[in-house]
Amino acid sequence: MNLIHPKTTILAAFLLFWFNGLTWADEWRAFWVDAWGPGHLRQSEVDTLLGVPGTSKAGRIRDANCNAVFVQVRRNCDACYPSSMGEPYMSGLTPANFNALQAVINAAHDTTGGKKRIEVHCWMVAFRTSGGAVYKRHIDPPTGSLVHLDNYWPSRDADGNEVDDKAFDPGHPLVLKYTVDVAMDLVSNFDLDGIHYDYIRFTAGNQGYNPTSIARYNARYGLTGQPSPADPQFQQWRRDQVSAVVRQVYARLQKAKPWVKQSGSFVTWNPSPVASTREAFQNTRPYYDVYCDWDSWMEEGIVDMAVPMTYYRQHQLPNDYLRWINFEKDRRFNRHMIIGPGVYMNYLTNAVLHLQMTRTPSPQGNYADGFSGYSYRSPYLVKADPLTYGDWSGFAPALVSNVTPTWAEIPAMPWKTAPTKGHLMGTVLFADSGAWADGAMVNISGPTNRTMRADATGFYAFIDLPPGNYTVAASKPDYATASANVNIALGAVTGNMYEQNFSLIVPPASPVLVWGDNTFGQSAAPELATNAIAVAAGAWHTLALRADGRVVAWGDNSSGQCGDGEPMTNALAIAAGGYHNLAIRRDGAVVAWGANDYGQASVPPGLSDVIAVAAGTWHSVALRANGTVVVWGDDSFGQKSRQPAGLTQVVAVAAGGNHTLALKADGRVVAWGENTDAEGNVVGQSEVPWDLADVVAIGAGGYHSLAVKADGRVVGWGDNSQGQVSVPAGLSNVVAVAGGGMHSVALCGDGSVVAWGANWSGQSGIPAWLPAAVGISAGEWHTVGLLEGTLPEARLHCPARKGSRFRVLAQTMNRKTYVLERLDSLGETNWVGVSTNAGNGA
């Protein structure tokens, strides 16, 4: 048997890589430059490290053919640059206010005489304070209040003691905001190449007990007391708090300066992973002990590169180093993986070996994108006892001759330089207080579907979205869902990062919301309008149909249209005219009340099997189950007598001021009645456009008509004196329309409402905070919206054609659509049974 030492195999693979290539592939060649000793704490050290700008002096990093530095700019909430966050200068700087970061950038980016540009990544310790000045600003007595956030930021352990390094707890919302602001302060004020985290984690598994974080946790899950450190749910909670920092900074970087890269020096430790799988990572200490889930950050795409601190002594734990670097090479996802050997722990030959091993393929054939050695100040071990490190001058010759004999460029990041995907971010607030909607659920649907919780500051971000149209919705218990449509396109906004913010409102006690004129109180929905499943607007009054069948009316009652006695009950559907109302009872009979000047409230004897009603100013319309239409009341303009003879196969009706519309099963619209406006000018509200087809819903206003086509577009005709038939450009995905006196309203499939036309009383001014709606109606100068609720009550919504057949869409309160399909005749569909079945589609 031939026995080959593992080191021999590794070197053989490396030599194969070496001799097969005439030039080096692009790769990261970086070193960490710490701020605990000589490196960049004074100008002369920067000159040695990176050369002198404007001269031929290149500096040690360039001379060693390395192309990037991770420079420590923040140790303990202190800084080596002027901090706009008020963080003090760190100790050791000469002079004490030396702007070391700017000096490093000046030297690294200098290309005088053909010098290579070196990338500068700002290494910042995330949460540690070590009890310094910033810590002392945030140690007021804790309250744990979620209404008025306290000024106590330190993390505690399970015994109630502050953690040893006095680190802030990312579970406190203000710590999250502060840490993000620190990173963005750097990005805003310096021409840096990247943000690089350290200690982006807890330091022990029993930490994370800041009182505010615990209060948030208990509120989220309906708990009391203190969770166990080993509780899996609480462990995930702490991972989520750390991840929130990484996600938010990544998104804000992408929006502000998309060329800036985000990375981190992430821990590894023992036990090392036994396979290149998610499960294997979950059995390592970064995941289960200190809640640093950098493997998921790579998969989500919220870091551009990982630089795991793979610190092992080759003479003691060679297999653990090998297992970790193989895992790292295999778990790159669509980002860069830079291996970070702890060269300071190894004798010179092994330090070089560890750097060389970063270039070998894993057993699965995968490669890393480069290396970063720790550290520039102490790059190798000279002696273990007493502990003695070698310096750069003793390390560089071996580095250059064995690892970096020629220059290599930094590899491109295609997701930044040639992106094929976009991103979406935003903040969810509570409209009533302006507070962050901590934990709000945000979901996006479109070319891809995702869901996430907003972080403690209400922030969310979806990274790497395929281009296309998306619907985004934010929700929180006891608040109305807010939604919006977003078109993710490439090249339209900076960094392809779109922003969609939301404000959540507490829905009114009534699901009915009315806006516009309120002269008669028609826009003031009463408390009785609860559990509404349908709404209707008359000229100056409003109706709501409750789930229990009761009709509630308010506004103008000059003709008794709002009721003078017992309330109307047992109703299935409603319609409101100028000064009268109609209702269908559950047995299919029609009831009318209010003004009866023209007999509009005198229901024809024997009228039965009615499935829909509509009311004009002075006339009434009923649709029977057999597809025929019955009209009664005023006929001054032929709104009754001009009905085409033999009209059948009707699936929907609408009544305007003095005209009538009918939608046939074949998608055509039929209209009759008045064709002039109030001044007698011909406007043609009853003259259907000759090419109008494929209609699925209709609506009628005072002197105009509306139709929704099968493709979701709206067509209008008739009076346009106030722009009421000038449909807004781009309006699409419409499922219902309503016509008012001189304005029009559309309900879209995502629950949004659009209005146009007259707006002198605000009737076309949609409230900015309007939650998703499921129903609309329009009066003379007011508009009614039925807000999305949770009742599983079905209601007839709008018909839709499919070839020679038609469908009727019965819609529940959450806008889910359910279909009943007619086969041969209208009579075969039990319309009343469909519409009265409270469990339909639920």
307-313: average pLDDT: 98
Joined tokens for residue 585? 């009872």
Whether residue 6 lies inside any domain: the answer is no
Are 303 and 179 in the same domain? yes
Alpha helices per DSSP H over 89-169: 100-108, 133-136
Lowest-pLDDT range of 186-190, 295-299, 504-508: 504-508
Whether the ω angle into residue 84 lies within 30 degrees of 0, i.e. cis, is no
What pLDDT digit, counting tens, does each position of 455-476 carry?
999 999 999 999 999 999 999 9
What b-and-e string marks burial along 364-382, b requiring 16 or more CB atoms within 10 Å of the CB?
eeebbbbbbbbbbbbbbbe
Same domain, 358 and 450: no
Give the end of a domain, one of 415, 444, 459.
Answer: 415
Say if residue 294 is in the same domain as residue 314: yes
- Residue 660 belongs to some domain of the structure: yes
Domain presence at residue 436: yes
Residue 532 pLDDT: 84
Instruction: Provide the CATH number for the domain around residue 427.
Output: 2.60.40.10
Q: Are residues 688 and 670 in the same domain?
A: yes
CB 815 within 8 A of CB 799: no
Domain at 726, CATH number: 2.130.10.30
716 belongs to a structural domain? yes
pLDDT single digits (tens) 413-462: 999 999 999 999 999 999 889 999 999 999 999 999 999 999 999 999 99
Is residue 459 located within the same domain as residue 406?
Answer: no
Same domain, 396 and 425: no
- The model's confidence at residue 509, banded by pLDDT at 50, 70 and 90, is low
Which of 357, 391, 415 is the C-terminal boundary of a domain? 415
Q: What are the pLDDT digits (tens) for 6-65?
A: 333 344 344 434 433 335 689 999 999 999 999 999 999 999 999 999 999 999 999 999
> What residue ranges in 282-379 does DSSP mark as E strands?
305-306, 309-310, 336-337, 340-341, 370-373
Which tops the pLDDT comparison, 595 or 478? 595
Residue 123: inside a domain, yes or no?
yes
- Spatial distance between the Cα atoms of 106 and 126, rounded to a whole number of angstroms: 25
Percent of the chain with pLDDT over 90: 80
Please answer whether residues 461 and 251 qualify as being in contact, where contact means their C-beta atoms are separated by less than 8 angstroms: yes
How many domains are there within the chain?
A: 3
* Average pLDDT value for residue range 385-404: 98
| Separation CA 650–CA 736 (nearest Å) | 17
Q: Does 97 reside within a domain?
A: no
Other CB atoms closer than 10 Å to residue 690's CB: what's the count? Answer: 6
Is residue 94, in this structure, part of any structural domain at all? no
Place of tokens 């002696």: 383
Sequence-separated contacts (24+) of 625-631 with Cβ below 8 Å: 625/588, 625/826, 625/827, 625/829, 625/831, 625/832, 626/826, 626/827, 627/651, 627/665, 627/826, 629/653, 629/660, 629/662, 630/604, 631/660
Let me know if residue 20 belongs to a domain: no
Confidence of residue 588 (pLDDT cuts 50, 70, 90): confident
Pair 474, 563 in one domain = no
The enclosing domain of 284 has a CATH number of 3.20.20.80
pLDDT value for 505 = 85
- In this prediction, residue 769 carries a pLDDT of 74
CA distances from 234 to 207, 231, 278 (A): 11, 5, 20
pLDDT of 828 reads 34
Quick one: 336 and 353 in the same domain? yes
Tell me what pLDDT residue 14 has: 44
| Same-domain pairing of 463 and 579 | no
Are 402 and 443 found together in one domain? no
The last residue of a domain, from among 415, 444, 479:
415
| pLDDT over threshold 50, residue 362 | yes
Q: Do both 149 and 196 map to the same domain? A: yes
Identify whether the C-beta of residue 325 lies closer than 8 Å to the C-beta of residue 358.
yes
Percentage of residues in the chain with pLDDT exceeding 70? Answer: 90
Please, which pLDDT band fits residue 789 given cuts at 50, 70 and 90? low
3-state helix, strand, coil in the chain (%, to 5): 20, 30, 50
Residue 166's pLDDT band (boundaries 50, 70, 90)?
Answer: very high
Domain with 480 in it = 419-504
Q: For residue 653, which amino acid is it?
A: V
Instruction: Check whether residue 384 and residue 437 sit in a common domain.
Output: no
592: its two tokens? 């009318």
Taking residue 230's Cβ as centre, other Cβ atoms within 10 Å add up to: 11
d(CA 531, CA 547): 6
